[in-house]
Structure 1
Amino acid sequence: MTGAQLDRADARLRQDEGLAGAVRGFIDRVRSGDLGMLPVFVGLLLITVVFASLNPVFLAPNNLVNLLFDAAAIGLISLGVVCVLLLGEIDLSIGSMSGLASAMVGVLWVNSGLPMPLAVLGAVLAGAVVGAIYGTLRNRFEMPSFVATLSGLLALLGLQLYLLGATGSINLPYTSGLVRFGQILIMPDWLSYLAAILPGAILLGSGLRTMRRRREANLSSPGLSVLLVKAGVLTVALLACAAYLNQGRGVPYMFGVFTLFVVALDYALRRTKWGRSMFAVGGNAEAARRSGINVRRIRLSAFVLCSSLASLGGVFAASRLASASQQAGTGDVNLNAIAAAVIGGTSLFGGRGSAWSALLGIIVIQAISNGLTLLNLSSSLRYMITGAVLAIAVIVDSLARRSRASHGRA
Structure 2
Amino acid sequence: MTSLETPPAATATDLQDERLAAPQGFRDHLRGTVRRARDGDLGMLPVIAGVVVIWTIFQSLNATFLSSTNLVNLAFDMVSLGVIALGIVCVLLVGQIDLSVGSVSGVAAATTGVVMVRHEQPLVLAVLVAIGAGALIGWLYGQVLNRFGVPSFVATLGGLLAFLGTQLWLLRGQNAINLPYDSTLVRFAQVWFVPEALAYLFAVTAAGGFLAAGLLRARKRRRAGLSSVSTRWLAAQALALGAALVFAVYYLNRTRGVPWMFMLFVVLVLALQYVLTRTGFGRSLYAVGGNAEAARRAGINVRGVYTAAFVMCSTLAATGGVLAAARLAAANQSTGTADVNLNAIAAAVIGGTSLFGGRGSAFAALLGVLVIQSISSGLTLLNLDSSYRFIITGAVLLVAVALDSAARRSRQAHGRG
TM over 0.5: yes
Note the residue ranges of structure 1 that are not aligned, 5 or more in a row.
none
Q: Is 1:193 aligned to residue 197 of structure 2? A: no
- Return the match for 1:72 from 52, 69, 79: 79
Q: Is 1:7 aligned to residue 14 of structure 2? A: no
User: TM-score w.r.t. structure 1 length?
Assistant: 0.97
Which one-letter code corresponds to 2:113 in the other structure? G
Q: 1:189-338 residue pairs with structure 2 within 5 A?
A: 189-338=196-345
Give the equivalent residue in structure 2 for 1:384: 391
1:13-52 CA distance string (max 9 Å, x none): 9779422111111111111111111011100000000000
Deviation at 1:199, TM superposition (A): 2.2
Q: Would the alpha carbon gap of residues 267 and 16 (structure 1) be closer, same or farther in structure 2, given more than 3 Å must change?
A: closer
- Return the match for 1:36 from 36, 39, 43: 43
- Return the match for 1:396 from 403, 409, 412: 403
Q: Is 1:23 aligned to residue 27 of structure 2? A: no
Note the residue ranges of structure 2 that are not aligned, 5 or more in a row.
none
Superposition CA RMSD, Å: 1.8
In the alignment of these two chains, the number of paired residues is 410
- Cα distance in structure 2, aligned partners of 1:220 and 1:52: 43
- Cα distance in structure 2, aligned partners of 1:283 and 1:347: 10
Deviation at 1:218, TM superposition (A): 1.7
- Cα distance in structure 2, aligned partners of 1:195 and 1:385: 35
What SS does the aligned partner of 2:125 have? helix
Q: Would the alpha carbon gap of residues 266 and 3 (structure 1) be closer, same or farther in structure 2, given more than 3 Å must change?
A: farther
User: Taking every aligned residue pair, what percent have the same amino acid on both sides?
Assistant: 57
Deviation at 1:168, TM superposition (A): 2.2
- Cα distance in structure 1, aligned partners of 2:250 and 2:403: 34
What SS does the aligned partner of 2:281 have? helix
- Return the match for 2:365 from 343, 358, 371: 358
Give the equivalent residue in structure 1 for 2:90: 83
Structure 1 range deviating more: 329-338 or 75-84? 329-338
Deviation at 1:5, TM superposition (A): 3.1
Is the Cα–Cα contact under 8 Å of residues 104 and 163 in structure 1 kept in the other structure? yes
Select the structure that is richer in helix: 1
Is the Cα–Cα contact under 8 Å of residues 54 and 374 in structure 2 kept in the other structure? yes
Which one-letter code corresponds to 2:187 in the other structure? R
Deviation at 1:217, TM superposition (A): 2.1
Structure 1 range deviating more: 66-75 or 213-222? 213-222
- Cα distance in structure 1, aligned partners of 2:355 and 2:227: 32
Deviation at 1:216, TM superposition (A): 1.9
Q: Is 1:181 aligned to residue 181 of structure 2? A: no
What SS does the aligned partner of 2:11 have? helix
Give the equivalent residue in structure 1 for 2:66: 59
1:50-77 CA distance string (max 9 Å, x none): 0000001101101100011010000000
Which one-letter code corresponds to 1:362 in the other structure? V
Q: Would the alpha carbon gap of residues 219 and 316 (structure 1) be closer, same or farther in structure 2, given more than 3 Å must change?
A: same
Is the Cα–Cα contact under 8 Å of residues 86 and 362 in structure 2 kept in the other structure? yes
- Cα distance in structure 2, aligned partners of 1:282 and 1:236: 36
Deviation at 1:193, TM superposition (A): 1.1
Is the Cα–Cα contact under 8 Å of residues 24 and 233 in structure 2 kept in the other structure? no
1:287-338 CA distance string (max 9 Å, x none): 0000000000000000001000000000000000000000000111111111
Is the Cα–Cα contact under 8 Å of residues 102 and 324 in structure 1 kept in the other structure? yes
Give the equivalent residue in structure 1 for 2:350: 343
Is the Cα–Cα contact under 8 Å of residues 22 and 226 in structure 1 kept in the other structure? no
- Cα distance in structure 1, aligned partners of 2:346 and 2:23: 41
Is the Cα–Cα contact under 8 Å of residues 22 and 222 in structure 1 kept in the other structure? no
Q: 1:158-173 residue pairs with structure 2 within 5 A?
A: 158-173=165-180
Give the equivalent residue in structure 2 for 1:132: 139
Give the equivalent residue in structure 1 for 2:382: 375
Is the Cα–Cα contact under 8 Å of residues 23 and 29 in structure 2 kept in the other structure? no
- Cα distance in structure 2, aligned partners of 1:223 and 1:310: 40
- Cα distance in structure 1, aligned partners of 2:177 and 2:96: 34
Q: Would the alpha carbon gap of residues 173 and 362 (structure 1) be closer, same or farther in structure 2, given more than 3 Å must change?
A: same
